[in-house]
Amino acid sequence: MTAVQRALPRRWPLLRSGNLHGGWPSAFWFLLPALIGFVAFYLYPAIRGVYISFTDWNLIANEGDWVGTDNYDRLLDDSRVWDSLKVTIRYTVINIVSQTILAIGIAVLMDRLTKSVVIRGIILFPWLIPNVIVAMLWVWMLDGNLGIVNEFLGWFGVDPIRFFTDTDKVIPTLAGINTWRHMGYTALLIFAGLQTIPKNLYEAAALDGATERQMFFGITMPLLRPILALVLVITIVGSLQVFDTVYVATGGFGGQPGGPANASRVIYLYIYQNAFDFNQLGYAAAISVLLVVILLAVTFVQLKLLRAGESDLS
């Protein structure tokens, strides 16, 4: 141990132990490409976004004057912001609940029933299709007049369902589409988590006469918690940021994005409208800052509640 390392406080054991001794220069070079990308495409735009949120920035003219907290004052009085947050939360709840339950089910089935790589690959298929294509595909399939799904339902005497143009159904429909698209990917993450659970626990439980159901709730779910916490953080943050599916599916052919009657105007869409339709980039930036604060809070609370960093295995 060098003198420098000994002088380091106990709180930095990794550096003290000398694990990275001599590794820092190479670590730096490995991190550099990502670091440049992070600073250029995330950090600098983020900081500039916060600055723009204090201006009346005009996107087309690409200039704006400092207006202090005007945008934030306006935001607090703007019922559309809070309406769109409600829409977003409704979407997120439906999407996350259905997607997570289905993904756990698929992951457990993959783990317990099949070792086929082909089947595991097929489950990932929807996730490989670009969002915009997925949205357009479902718009055609679910259309009230011409869609194949309603044609099929019609054979069983079901009246056409207006999936995208009924104000009550549009959000569940969009949430369902994204569940379809993402459940395979989420299942794969959970499947990876399942591999960390020692198989001998199941063998022991089986010897004691436990049923599959008891093993699922007694072994799988508790030991899956850290992975599930990570998966939930990623999917909830992603879900709260839904945009492309909504924009394409509700506005692509005939309607207005976010329609009908603003029933699917999620917060990202409202930010987009302000920035690119209304040319009010300053106000859009202020709503974005609000969204960042909300996302940070949600993530922090989730990590705390789910004790994401701890495992029950050790």
Partner 1 sequence: MRKTIWRLIAVFIALTLVAAACGNDDDDGGAGEAQPAPQATEAAEESAPAPTEAPVEAVTIEYWLWDGNQQPHYQQCADDFTAANPNINVEIVQFGWGDYWTNLTAAFASDSGPDVFTDHLARYPEFVASGVLVPLNDYAARDGVDTGAYFPGLAELWVDAEGNRYGLPKDFDTIALVMNAGHIADAGVTASDFAAAEWNPDDGGSFQELIAKLSVDANGNRGDSPDFDSSNVEVYGMGLEGNFGAFGQTTFSGFAASTGFQFLDVNPFGDSANYDDPRLAATIDWYVRMIDAGYVVPIEDVESLGGTTVFQNGSAAVMADGSWKIGTYIGADTPFDVEFAPLPTGPSGSRASMFNGLADSINRSSDNQEEAWQWVKHMASADCQDIIGGAAVVFPAIPSAADIAVASHQANGVDVTAFTVHVDEGTTFLFPITDSASQIEAIVGPAMQEILRGQADAADRLSQVADEVNSVLGS
According to the binding rule CB under 8 A, does residue 114 interact with partner 1?
Answer: no
Q: Do 258 and 265 contact (CB within 8 A), yes or no?
A: yes
Q: Which of 98, 279, 299, 302 binds partner 1 (CB under 8 A)?
A: 279
**Cβ closest to partner 1, residue 179 vs residue 264:** 264
Q: Do 99 and 182 contact (CB within 8 A), yes or no?
A: yes
Phi-psi region of 307 (alpha: psi -120 to 50; beta: other; left: phi over 0): left
User: How near is the Cβ of 144 to partner 1 at its closest, in Å?
Assistant: 6
Read off the tokens for 9.
Answer: 């406080």
Q: Which of 30, 125, 253, 300 binds partner 1 (CB under 8 A)?
A: 253
Cα angle for residues 168, 173, 175 (degrees, 5° grid): 110
User: How near is the Cβ of 154 to partner 1 at its closest, in Å?
Assistant: 12
**Cβ closest to partner 1, residue 54 vs residue 185:** 54
Q: Which of 44, 82, 217, 300 binds partner 1 (CB under 8 A)?
A: 44
According to the binding rule CB under 8 A, does residue 47 interact with partner 1?
Answer: yes
According to the binding rule CB under 8 A, does residue 152 interact with partner 1?
Answer: no
DSSP secondary-structure letter at 264? T
User: Looking at 58-66, 69-77, 101-109, 112-120, which segment touches partner 1 (CB under 8 A)?
Assistant: 58-66
The interface mask with partner 1, positions 162-191, x = CB under 8 A, is x-xxxx------------------------
Cα angle for residues 273, 66, 51 (degrees, 5° grid): 65
Read off the tokens for 269.
Answer: 């869409």
According to the binding rule CB under 8 A, does residue 260 interact with partner 1?
Answer: yes
Cα separation, 293 vs 310, whole angstroms: 25
DSSP 149-182: HHHHHHHTTPPPP-TTTSTTTHHHHHHHHHHHHH
According to the binding rule CB under 8 A, does residue 41 interact with partner 1?
Answer: no
Cα separation, 177 vs 171, whole angstroms: 10
Please give the residue ranges that form the binding site for partner 1 (CB under 8 A). Answer: 11-14, 31, 35, 38-39, 43-44, 47, 55, 58-66, 139-140, 142-146, 162, 164-167, 253-256, 258-262, 273, 276-279, 309-310
